[in-house]
Amino acid sequence: MKRLLLLIILVITLLIPEAAAQKRKTERAYSSFTAGEYFEAIDLFKEAYTKVKKADKNLRTELIFMIAECYRLTNDPKNAETWYKLATKSTYSKPDAQFWFAESLKKNGKYQPAIDEFKKYKQLAPADARADQEIRSCELSAEWLKNPEAYKVDEVKDINSRQSDFSPAYGRDDFGQIYFTSSREGAAGNKTHGATGQSYTDIFESRIDKKSKWSTPVPVEVINSEFEDGTPSFSSDFKEIYFTRCESGKREKKGCVIMYSKRSGDTWSDPKSTGILPDSLVAAHPAISPDGSTLYFVSDITGGSGKKDIWMSTRAKSGGAWSKPVNPGPDINTPGDELFPYVREDGTLYFSSDGQIGMGGLDIFKAKPMADGSWAVLNMKPPVNSFADDFGITFENGTEKGLFSSTRKGKGNDEIYSFELPPMKFNVTGLVKDEKAGTPIPGSHVQLIASDGSNLQAETGAGGDFKFALKADVDYIFLASKRGYLNGKNKETTKGQAKSRDFMVTLLLTSIDKPIELPNILYDFGKWDLRPESMVSLDKLVETLLDNPNAVIELMSHTDSRDTEEFNQTLSQKRAQFAVQYLIDKGIEPERLVPKGYGESTPKIIDAETVKQNPFLKAGTPLTEQYINSLGSDEQKEIAHQINRRTEFRVLRTDYEPTKK
C-alpha cells in the first residue's frame, strides 16, 4: 500500500512541472498573439498543441483555431484554410472557424466550395449578414472571371524580390522613377517584424534605363529610419513626399504617423510629422490630392464605419495646417478595412477594401464623387483584382496605365505589377446572303458609312464575306448591293463599348425576279382600310424604297375567293391604292408606285415558310377555292382565306431618276 502511495505521489510530481510548462507555452502564445506578433505565435501555439492530451478536445480545438487565426493574420490563406478546416471538424468548434474557413477558400479562389461553407455558416449564425454578402461576392467573382476587363497585367520582375514589395508611386513627371515599400535586405531598420517574420520595411527607389528596364532598387536616403517606413505619395510637382512611419514591434506601443519631406534637387529634407492625429495610434497610407489641398489617409479612430477607415483632411494653402479629419462616409467605408487610398486629377478616389463586395482579400475599388456628395463605387474586377490581396494602385497621370501591388502568386509576399488598358480594337466580319435561299452572294458591293464622315467599300469574296476595321465611338451603316437584288442594310455601333470586340453582321438581299410578299398586311373581310399592325410592314417597305431610290414597284393586292369576282377585283384595287397612299404620305414619290388589284385571280402557292406556320397545308399547292373547301375544319379554311388576302410588290424597273425641282 505504501509503495502504491509513493508511486502516485511520484506520478503527480512528474505531471505538475509538465502541466505548468504547457500552461506557460500557451500563455506565451496568447501574449504574442495579443501583441500582434502572429508569425512568432504560430510556433508557440503549435508547440502547445502537441502537448495537449487527445482527451482534452476543447483545448485542442481552441489551439487549432488560434493557429488558423495566426496564418490568416499573416496573410497565408493556404495554411489558414488547412487549419480552419481542422477546427470546423470538431464539435467544440466556434462559428467563427466556419466563417473564416469559407473566407480562406474564397481567398484561395475556390468560389463554389466557399459558397457551400458560407451557407453552413448561415445555419450557425443566421443573424450575421456577412454570409449573404460573401456568397454574392463569390457568385460575382466567378462571373467576372469568365468575362474579365481589358487591362493587360504583368509582374514587374525587375523590381520584385523574395520579400514584400508594394505600394509603388511615381517619383518623376516622366514616370521613369518609382518609389515603393519593401522588406528586402538593405533596409535601414535591422529588426524583424513579429507579425510577418520579415525585416522592417523601407522606401526604395528604382529608375528605368535606356533599355526600358528598371534599375536595382536602393533605399531612399534621408527618408528611411530604424522604424517601418512605407506607402509613399507625391505632390503633383513631385517636390513633396508623404509616407507612413510605424514603430512596430514594441509591445507597449504600435504607433503610425504620417511624415512628409521636401525635395531640393535630388536631396530630401529631414522628414517631419504632418501633425495629423497626433494622439492616435494609427494614421497611415497618405494620398495627397493633385491640387495639394486634400490628404486622404487611413485610421481606426472613433467615428468610423468599422476597423480601419479612409479619412480626409484639407488645408487652405501649401504648408498650411491640416484640418480636423472628415470621414467620406459609408459609400466608401465599411465594417471591414479600407486601405491604400490614391486620388486622381478628376477627383476619383482609388482604394482597397475587404468590406465591399470583392473577389477575395483586398480588392481595388474606384469611387467617383457625385454632385450630391455621395460616391459611386465600382470594383475594378479582374485582371486588376484577383482572389488574393490587390492594393496600392498608382496611375501615369490621365492614362489607364500604372502600377499596383498583389499577393496573387500565392507565396504570401506582396509584389508589384504593371497594368495598362490597351487601345480598343474593333473589327467587323460580314456576310451577304440571299434572303430567301440563305445562300451567300459573292461579288456583292458593300459600302460602310460611318458617323465620323468616313466611307469604306469592299466586294464580297466567294463565300459572300467581307471585313472592315472599325473605330471607337462611331455609328456605322452597312449597305450591300448586287444586280438583280434589292439593296440590303444593317447597322452597328462601337459607342458604349468598354472593351475590344469583333462584330458579326449579316446583310440580306432580296431577289427581284419574283414578287415579294409583305408580311402582316392584314385586312378585315370585305374591307380595304389597313389594320394597325399592317403599318409596321409598310414602314419597312418605306425603308426598302429609301435604300433603293431607283426602284419603281407595282404594289399588288389579292383577295380571297369569297364574294363575286367583280367585287373582289374592286376591293383589291382599293386595298392596293390605300397602301400606296400610305407610302406616298411617308414621302415616297408617286411616280415610283403602281397600285394593282388582282382580286381572287392569283391564289397563293404554298411555300415551305407557310407550311412551318401551318402544317396542315401542303407545299406547292395553290390555295384555290376548291382546295380550301377540302380542308378539315372551318378554322383551317379561315386561315387559308386569310393567307390569300395578301399584299405583294414586284420591281418593275431600277432606272428611276427623281425629277429635279
For residues 136 and 239, membership in a common domain is answered with no
What distance, in Å, lies between the first and last C-alpha atoms of the chain? 135
In a 10 Å sphere around its CB, with 0-12 CB exposed, 13-18 middle and 19+ buried, how is residue 656 labelled? middle
CATH of the domain at 494: 2.60.40.1120
Q: What integer pLDDT is reported at residue 420 of this predicted model?
A: 96
CA angle in degrees (0–180, nearest 5) for 611-617-622: 100
In a domain, 116, yes or no: yes
CB atoms within 10 A of CB 280: 16
Q: Which of 511, 531, 548 is the last residue of a domain?
A: 511
Q: What integer pLDDT is reported at residue 20 of this predicted model?
A: 61
For residues 247 and 387, membership in a common domain is answered with yes
Grid-cell match 451603316, residue found: 477
For residues 481 and 452, membership in a common domain is answered with yes
Sheet (strand 165-170) strand order: 165-170, 177-182, 202-207, 218-219
Sheet (strand 516-518) strand order: 516-518, 647-653, 552-557, 593-597
In a domain, 2, yes or no: no
Q: What integer pLDDT is reported at residue 101 of this predicted model?
A: 96
Output the CA–CA distances (angstroms, integers) from residue 13 to 26, 50, 55, 397, in the order listed.
Answer: 21, 21, 21, 73
d(CA 156, CA 166): 11
CATH of the domain at 557: 3.30.1330.60
For residues 416 and 528, membership in a common domain is answered with no
Which residue spans within 253-308 are E strands per DSSP?
256-264, 267-268, 272-273, 284-288, 294-299
Reference 607, options 629, 623, 583, 631; nearest CA is 623
Kindly state the cell numbers that stand for 499.
472593351
- What range does the domain containing 273 cover? 152-420
In a domain, 9, yes or no: no
Q: Which of 99, 114, 146 is the last residue of a domain?
A: 146
For residues 71 and 175, membership in a common domain is answered with no
For residues 645 and 547, membership in a common domain is answered with yes
For residues 413 and 500, membership in a common domain is answered with no
In a 10 Å sphere around its CB, with 0-12 CB exposed, 13-18 middle and 19+ buried, how is residue 630 labelled? exposed
Over 554-616, what HEC string results?
EEEECCCCCCCHHHHHHHHHHHHHHHHHHHHHCCCCHHHEEEEECCCCCCCECCHHHHHHCCC
Positions in the chain short of pLDDT 50: 1-16, 249-252
CATH of the domain at 137: 1.25.40.10
Which residue spans within 454-500 are E strands per DSSP?
455-459, 465-470, 475-481, 485-486, 488-493
Q: Which of 146, 163, 190 is the last residue of a domain?
A: 146
Per-residue burial over 344-376, b if 16 or more Cβ lie within 10 Å, else e, is: beeebbbbbbbbbbbbbbbbbbbbebeeeeebe
In a domain, 660, yes or no: no
On whether the CB atoms of residues 276 and 284 are closer than 8 A, the answer is no
For residues 480 and 542, membership in a common domain is answered with no
In a domain, 13, yes or no: no
For residues 305 and 450, membership in a common domain is answered with no
Q: What integer pLDDT is reported at residue 254 of this predicted model?
A: 61
Question: Residue 82 in 3-state DSSP?
Answer: helix
For residues 139 and 165, membership in a common domain is answered with no
* Number of domains, the chain: 4
Q: What integer pLDDT is reported at residue 523 of this predicted model?
A: 65
Which residues is 284 bridged to in the sheet?
Answer: 298
In a domain, 552, yes or no: yes
Over 374-433, what HEC string results?
CEEEEECCCCCCCCCCEEEEEECCCCCEEEEEECCCCCCCCEEEEEECCCCCEEEEEEEE
On whether the CB atoms of residues 178 and 205 are closer than 8 A, the answer is yes
For residues 67 and 166, membership in a common domain is answered with no
In a domain, 661, yes or no: no
For residues 214 and 330, membership in a common domain is answered with yes
CATH of the domain at 209: 2.120.10.30
Kindly state the cell numbers that stand for 300.
481606426
In a domain, 170, yes or no: yes
d(CA 555, CA 577): 8
